[in-house]
Every structure is written in C-alpha cells, then in structure tokens.
Amino acid sequence: MFIDEANIFVQAGDGGRGCVSFRREKFVPKGGPDGGDGGKGGDVILQADRNLSTLLDFRYKQRYAAGRGEHGRGSDQKGRDGDDCIIRVPLGTVVRSIDSGGEVADLITPGQCFIAAHGGRGGRGNARFKSPTRQAPRYAQPGEPGEARWSRLELKLLADVGLIGLPNAGKSTLLSRISAARPKIAPYPFTTLMPQLGIVRLRDERSSVVADIPGIIEGAHEGKGLGHQFLRHIERTRLLMHLVDLTSSGEGDPLLNFDTVNRELLVYASQLAEKPQVVVATKMDVPMAKQAWERFQPAMAALGLRAIAISAVTGEGIGTLLDEIDKALIPVRSVIQSNLSRERTL
C-alpha cells in the first residue's frame, strides 16, 4: 500500500527540575548548597532514510514522545538528559505545520535530520544560586515543558523523469518496457492508482529513476478522476515525458489531449508547466496511429517540441526515447557534479 500523506503528534520530553540540597558530611563544616541541575528533555527528530518508500507506518502510529529529563540530585549531581525519539521517514518527505500549512522542513538527503519538537531545558539546582550575599538559597528552578504539536508529513517522490498523460496513454506499459517495474496494466482508465517507480538503464552505465503518475483528466483541479492527488510527486522531477495516445479520435483528438494535460499542470503549479518536456506519441503499432502521426508531429514542431513515436509493445522508438532522456539529463548531471566539487573544495 502506498501512503503519501500522514499527520503525527510529537511530544518532546520535559526538563527535569533542579534540586534543593545542602552538603552535610562529617568533618565538612558549613558545606553549603549542592543541589544539581535537572536534565534536558529529549528531542523528537525526523531522519531521512533511503530504505523507506511510503508513510504507511504513520497510519498505525500517530503519537511519538521523547524521554523526560531526570531531576537533579544532591552532591552536585546533574540529572540525566532524556532520550531523543528518532522517527525515520522516506527521502523526499516534506514537513508542514498543521496550523499554518507552511513548509518547515524538506528531507531529501540520506541521514538529513529535522528537530520536530525541542525538549525542555532542565531547571537549575540551588547550587547555581549561591553568592556571597545569598549563601543558603532554598529554591531551585522547575524544568521547562517540552514542545508538543501536530505536524503533517507529505511524501514527494525523488525521480529524474515523470511520466504524465491521460489515462490509458500507455505510461505503465512504457515503464514496464524500459525498467524492471511491473505496474498493473489493463485496457481501462485509471489502472494505475498510485505512483510507480522504475530504474532505467541508459548509455555508459548511467541510470535514471522514472515515476509513473496516475492519469490526469480534464477538470482534475476540480477533483474529477483522481484529481491532483499525486501531482506533487513530479514536482521534483527534472524532465517530464508527456505520453499522448495517437489512437484516440473525435473528442479524444491527440492535440486536444496534449493541451488538456498541460492546462491541468498549469492550474496545479505553474512551475510544472515550465519543466522541459519530451513528447512521446504512443501505440504506433496500431495503423490509425501512423496516420495521426503525420498531423501530430508538425503540430509539436510548431510549438518548438520534439515528438518521438514509439510502440511499447513492439519496441519501436524505445532506443531513441532513452537516448533523448539521457541527452536531456546531461545539463542536470553537470550541475550536480559542479555542486559536489564545490562542496569537496569547501
């Protein structure tokens, strides 16, 4: 089961209270105050883990609490700090405030941490308050309470390429052809009900992660079909592969279908509509698709877009498509390599 949204309640540990104590030992006259400080409460920490892929665990457990700090003791003994509560989440998890809806953290690198709730500070013992004019203080500080709040977790898949298009455009079939992924394939709309990931081998032993997103239909922004429920998963992609079924006709004209999906992307987020696209004309093994190709290709060229004709069934055009993906991702790899080199220098 793929779960990409969850609400959790996090409770950091309270700080331990300081101790009021006076030193009383044989042969030690006027020992004075020796109350120790309370320990700090534990933090609740979210940590990105590459071995997780969904937020399913948070459907069964929503409340997480860290340990409280121990109270201070006599003989200047400080209380033990509370244990932190470490919550592991998948790479690409966005943390939002329930109250404002604003983003407070984006965990995209392995091991990256975010303190979702800070533990309370431990109270100071009476030994901290002694002075020449106050030699026997009989008070100490209480520990501070730990933070507690509801947070919303949203998962955005980390993929290089996102497959978009109307239902039955051939996205799942293509993913199964170019990768080892085995999504459900059937001749009816909305076969894909959740995003699917596949690793595609390119030239020179390079690879790319491709995400198959459930089909988008006209009016998705109004909640029709699956709505925009899964479009967040292509926000991080560097390249969109827009699949268009050339076997459709009439109200399902390929050019109209192409415009429909792009309009829905624009309504959801303008930056999605601005991402580079590779237009893929599918089902070229069907005779009527070859006829539609004669009209579709010039229309895409007029928009400044290159269209590639493929058949995921026969393998026609698949090699050309993979070369185009590799070529389109070269600038991105160059930026990543330059950033890594800069980090090593620093």
The pLDDT of residue 134 is above 50: yes
For position 190, what pLDDT does the model report? 59
Query: What percentage of residues in the chain have a pLDDT greater than 70?
Result: 86
Angle at 182 between CA 92 and CA 284, to 5 degrees: 105
C-alpha distances (whole Å) from 137 to each of 31, 59, 73, 193, 210 are: 13, 50, 15, 67, 67
pLDDT at residue 169 tops 90: no
Q: Which residue has the higher pLDDT, 26 or 334?
A: 26
Is residue 346 predicted with pLDDT exceeding 50?
Answer: no
- The span from the CA of 192 to the CA of 183, in Å, is 7
The pLDDT, as a whole number, for residue 164 is 86
Question: pLDDT at position 221, please?
Answer: 56
Check residue 227 and give its pLDDT: 55
Tens of pLDDT, residue by residue over 286-338, are: 888 888 888 888 888 888 888 888 888 888 888 888 888 888 887 655 544 45
Question: To the nearest whole number, what is the mean pLDDT of the chain?
Answer: 83
Tokens found for residue 187: 């001749």
Topology annotation, domain 5-155: Spo0b-associated Gtp-binding Protein; Chain: A, (2.70.210)
The dotted CATH code for 161-345 is 3.40.50.300
* 92: Cβ contacts below 8 Å, ≥ 6 apart: 107, 108, 155, 156, 157, 158, 236
Nearest to 64 by CA among 11, 105, 23: 11
Are 269 and 231 in contact by the 8 Å Cβ rule? The answer is yes
Judge whether 182 and 199 are in contact, CB under 8 Å: no
* Per-residue pLDDT at 237: 84
The candidate with the shortest Cα–Cα distance to 19, out of 73, 68, 69, 70, is 73
Q: What is the pLDDT of residue 343?
A: 46
How far apart (Å, rounded) are the C-alpha atoms in residues 247 and 328? 27
Instruction: Enter the DSSP assignment of 187.
Output: S
Query: For position 180, what pLDDT does the model report?
Result: 76
**Residue range 131-151: average pLDDT?**
92
Gap between the Cα atoms of 48 and 108, Å rounded: 7
Q: For strand 196-201 and strand 207-212, is the pairing parallel, antiparallel, or unpaired?
A: antiparallel
> Taking 80 as the threshold, does the pLDDT of residue 28 lie above it?
no
pTM for this model (two decimals): 0.75
Q: What is the pLDDT of residue 344?
A: 46
Average pLDDT over residues 269-281: 83
213 pLDDT tier (thresholds 50, 70, 90): confident
248 has pLDDT over 80: no
Predicted confidence (pLDDT) at residue 225 exceeds the cutoff of 60: no
Burial of residue 211 (number of CB atoms within 10 Å: 0-12, 13-18, 19+): buried
Among 59-73, 209-223, 275-289, 305-319, the least confident range: 209-223
Length of the chain: 346
* In the chain, % of residues over pLDDT 90: 30
Parse the chain into domains and list their residue ranges. Answer: 5-155, 161-345
Question: Do 210 and 200 touch, CB atoms closer than 8 A?
Answer: yes
Each residue's pLDDT tens digit, 8-17: 999 999 999 9
CATH topology match: 5-155 vs 161-345: no
pLDDT classification of 203: cutoffs 50, 70, 90: confident
Which token pair is 57? 């665990």
Q: Distance (Å, rounded) from C-alpha 346 to C-alpha 340?
A: 10
Residues 6+ apart with CB under 8 A from 23: 31, 32, 33, 34, 74, 75
62, two tokens:
């929503």
pLDDT top residue among 173 and 41:
41
